[in-house]
Amino acid sequence: MLTNFNPKEMPRALQNMLERDQGPAMASPPRRAFLKMAGLSGLALGAFPGLALAQGGAETALKPTEQPLAFVRIAPDGVVTVTINRLEFGQGVQTGLPMILAEELDADWALVTSRLGSDDPAYIDPVFGIHLTGGSGAIKHSYTQYRELGARARAMLLTAAAQRWNVDVATLQTRSGKVLGPGGRQLGYGELAQAAAALPVPQKVALKDPKDFRIIGHATGRIDAKAKSSGRQAFGIDTRLEGQLTAVVARPPVFGARLKSVDDGAARAVKGVRAVLRVPLDRGAEGVAVVADGYWSAKRGRDALKLEWNTGDVEKVDSEKQLAQYRELAGQPGARKFDADMAPLAGAPLTIKADFVFPYLAHAPMEPLNCTVKLDDGAAQLWVGTQMPGLDSAAAARVLGLKQDKITMNVAVAGGGFGRRATPSSDFVVEGCQIAKAARAAGVAAPIRTVWSREDDMHGGYYRPMHLHRAHIGFDADGNVLAWDHAIVGQSITAGSPFEPYQVKNGIDGTATEGMRDPYPFPMRLTVHHPKLNVPVLWWRSVGSNHTAFVMETLVDEIARMTKQDPVAYRMRLLGAKHARHREALQLAVDKSGYGKWRLAAGRAWGVAVHESFDSVVAYVVEASVKDGEPVLHRVTAGVHCNLAVNPRSIEAQVQGGAVMGLSMCLPGAAITFKDGVVEQSNFSDFTVARMTNAPAIDVHIVPSAEAPTGIGEPGLPPLAPAFANAIARLTGKPLRDMPFKLA
């Protein structure tokens, strides 16, 4: 969490978001200077992202996010480079957003490539008003934006061709990267780009009818597939600069602890070690950074340190005691999200009482955290895979004592993140800047790449919060819920962060309750407790839905079993006509799975769940069994309603990835636990993730729609665990209440 946080130090875009404003006020450079620089590389402001402000003033009234010159670069040979306003970290946005823009541009897809943006104001999320990759918002929030960018660029190219040929622009057409004119004349986009860049940007443009799409909606291979599959893709951790050094950090065993004594003699004697630095760390802690020629020398130097820590002044969390505290809190009055009448509980014919326990979870991306910092005179450059480059560059500026416009943020492709690279405290970026500053003060003038090991990542905090849910439900023999009394206990993710003002209402963090009750018409009283503990927490893929979906969908299934109803039919009745997208997704999964039609192999059972998150609905029908006392997932059939499928292949990959990550939550060992304030897990040997041997067959089916797309990066995760649990409960007769699963 942020300490000594001053809202006025935030990026102006974030301040405006919190003030419910429209976005940052932008100053524009002179139009003549802009055209001169933009013309150097044709329609190519992607080469000069700082000029995204051009033409953003009264002359056109277009915002920086609406300027095609900030997003489209067309080379003389016709290659179109699309700048992405999000971090690419596996979700496929480097392909999806170019598909949208190329569709309206009428580009030749074979000549389209992409590049990542920066913390330039042009690349903010047009809905949130800040630089952000998260909330499954890339395609959802930028669909219309990128369509209009492509259409504006196309209109400028058409105008340039009309002027060259001295014809009416209405007589021209475009096709696959060319402008076609009367008499068979044609010009490639590369031939027109420089002239087009000098033209006014149209404010209003006509967009294609979806029935005319030739790129959007077609299963398309990823632009970055070749680089990644061949090992040639460079990630943030691969940054290599002339004279670069590598730093690793010895961090305290308990969050927030400070150093009592440092004996660094042996560390300084390690070959390749250039400096040993005492540095401030996140949450008031201290650490020791070892700077060396390479990672191995730095690690050996760190291993040689002799450190004593003062842990007496910080809370030492213990998982067993914490659970007992949570159980006690669940029975106490607290803040109310829903407040239905609970009187019918006393006379309900049937009841369920249940406690659910969800542990802390590490994000554990395959590329550990890293940040490379190069200090220049009065300026700095950073290379980092970040989900919030604007917030991180502001944090870097504060640490380094620079104005934010003196920070150059080079956003690097990241090897996963799942929320960890969107930390409001900018902890790993601040850490890298602190080390670079300390090294410079010690006479080490070199770019420094700070790298976390896997163990550093596991111990480094910002976990999915531990949660306890307690439910007391009364219902009748027909499955009609009469009253549902529910309590949630867990740390707030957004308290103390810049997001608190609009996420925390009446003492309740909305991220903890999303996914509760709806879409089912249950009379619910929902009480929430947010204890404060010395464990840093953060959003984890699908945020609140990764625990609320499990609770809701397993309890709905349990009511169906207790009242002897088919779980699909029961859900369909509850959903009614109001929730057509849920019904369509569920029906598609049922139809494609063979549920109710096929006879399963002996020892297997069906499991069902459906859940909406980030405006998309995913339904799963699974086949599972129990082997040697352990749950086994054999087959998963998904029905997905995310409105228009921009790239069905990416949707399939995201749902499959979400399902496998959801499976990981179920497996023994999938938990971060604490003993005397120390994290007990250190690597994948004792923090479980699903392996190939665990992975089931996964079939993904998409409900057809022409409506604007909704999110897909996260919705595939939440319903997997409850569908799996429901299948196991049908086999064993015992509902599962804990994550990871405990069958004994």
Amino acid letter at 200?
P
Q: State residue 20's pLDDT score.
A: 32
Rounded mean pLDDT, 355-382:
97
Q: State residue 3's pLDDT score.
A: 33
Rounded mean pLDDT, 422-437:
98
Rounded mean pLDDT, 312-325:
98
Does CATH number 3.30.365.10 belong to domain 331-361+463-732?
A: yes
Chain-centroid distance, C-alpha 357? 24
Average pLDDT, the chain: 92
Residue 7 has pLDDT above 60, yes or no: no
The pLDDT tens digits of the residues spanning 689-713 come to: 999 999 999 999 999 999 999 999 9
Q: Which of 632, 629, 630, 611 is nearest to 620 (CA)?
A: 611
Name the band, by pLDDT with cuts 50, 70 and 90, for residue 580.
very high
Residue 173 has pLDDT above 60, yes or no: yes
**Cβ atoms of 561 and 554 closer than 8 Å:** no
Fold matches, 7-229 and 236-313+369-451: yes
Q: Which of 364, 540, 354, 369 is nearest to 465 (CA)?
A: 540
The pLDDT tens digits of the residues spanning 50-101 come to: 323 333 333 448 999 999 999 999 999 999 999 999 999 999 999 999 999 9
**Cβ atoms of 275 and 312 closer than 8 Å:** no
Cβ count near 21 (within 10 Å): 13
Rounded to whole angstroms, the Cα distance separating 136 from 712 reads: 6
Q: State residue 353's pLDDT score.
A: 98
Q: At what angle do helices 567-575 and 580-593 cross, to 10 degrees?
A: 160
Name the band, by pLDDT with cuts 50, 70 and 90, for residue 160.
very high
Pairing of strands 616-627, 604-613: antiparallel
**Cβ atoms of 477 and 349 closer than 8 Å:** yes
**CATH placement of domain 7-229:** 3.30.365.10
Decide: residue 498, CB within 10 A, 0-12 exposed, 13-18 middle, 19+ buried: buried
DSSP string, 545-574: HHHHHHHHHHHHHHHHHHTT--HHHHHHHH
HSE-CB at 159 with a 13 A cutoff on CA atoms is 16
Peptide bond before residue 49 is cis, with ω within 30 degrees of 0: no
Rounded to whole angstroms, the Cα distance separating 728 from 627 reads: 11
Every domain of the chain and the residues it spans = 7-229, 236-313+369-451, 331-361+463-732
Phi/psi of residue 343, each to 5°? -55, -40
Ranges assigned E (strand) in 567-646: 604-613, 616-627, 630-641
Q: At what angle do helices 545-562 and 567-575 cross, to 10 degrees?
A: 110
DSSP 618: E
Q: Which of 359, 354, 360, 346 is nearest to 330 (CA)?
A: 354
The pLDDT tens digits of the residues spanning 485-521 come to: 999 999 999 999 999 998 999 999 999 999 999 999 9
Provide the token pair at 309. Answer: 């820590």
What is the H or E stretch that residue 250 is in?
strand 245-250
Rounded mean pLDDT, 654-669:
98
End-to-end CA, the chain? 38
Name the band, by pLDDT with cuts 50, 70 and 90, for residue 537.
very high
Beta bridge partners of 353: 472
Rounded mean pLDDT, 241-265:
98
Mapped onto helix, strand or coil, the DSSP state of residue 65 is helix
**CATH placement of domain 236-313+369-451:** 3.30.365.10
The residues near 352 (Cβ < 8 Å, ≥ 6 apart) are 471, 472, 473, 475, 555, 558, 559, 562
Q: Which of 551, 541, 651, 539 is nearest to 611 (CA)?
A: 551
Mapping DSSP onto H, E and C, the string for 69-110 reads HHCEEECCCCCEEEEECCCCCCCCHHHHHHHHHHHHHCCCHH
Residue 48 has pLDDT above 80, yes or no: no
The pLDDT tens digits of the residues spanning 262-303 come to: 999 999 999 999 999 999 999 999 999 999 999 999 999 999
Mapped onto helix, strand or coil, the DSSP state of residue 701 is strand
Q: State residue 460's pLDDT score.
A: 95
Least confident stretch, 21-30, 529-538, 702-711: 21-30
Cβ count near 685 (within 10 Å): 9
Q: Rounded to two decimals, what is the model's pTM?
A: 0.92
Rounded mean pLDDT, 405-424:
98
The pLDDT tens digits of the residues spanning 191-218 come to: 999 999 999 999 999 999 999 999 999 9
- Rounded percentage of the chain residues whose pLDDT exceeds 90: 91
Rounded to whole angstroms, the Cα distance separating 678 from 172 reads: 69
Q: State residue 322's pLDDT score.
A: 98
Q: State residue 44's pLDDT score.
A: 34
Q: State residue 61's pLDDT score.
A: 84
Q: Which residue has the tokens 């990871």?
A: 740
Rounded mean pLDDT, 453-478:
98
Q: State residue 744's pLDDT score.
A: 80
Peptide bond before residue 200 is cis, with ω within 30 degrees of 0: no
Q: State residue 55's pLDDT score.
A: 35
**Cβ atoms of 669 and 690 closer than 8 Å:** no
Q: Which residues of 93-103 are buried (b: 16+ CB within 10 A; e: fewer)?
A: bbbbbbbbbbb
Phi/psi of residue 654, each to 5°? -65, -40
CA angle, 705 then 640 then 739, to 5°: 160
Rounded mean pLDDT, 561-572:
98
697-702 sheet: strands from edge to edge: 604-613, 616-627, 630-641, 697-702
Residue 722 has pLDDT above 70, yes or no: yes
Rounded mean pLDDT, 96-116:
98
- Rounded-to-5 percentages of helix, strand, coil across the chain: 35, 25, 40
Decide: residue 563, CB within 10 A, 0-12 exposed, 13-18 middle, 19+ buried: middle
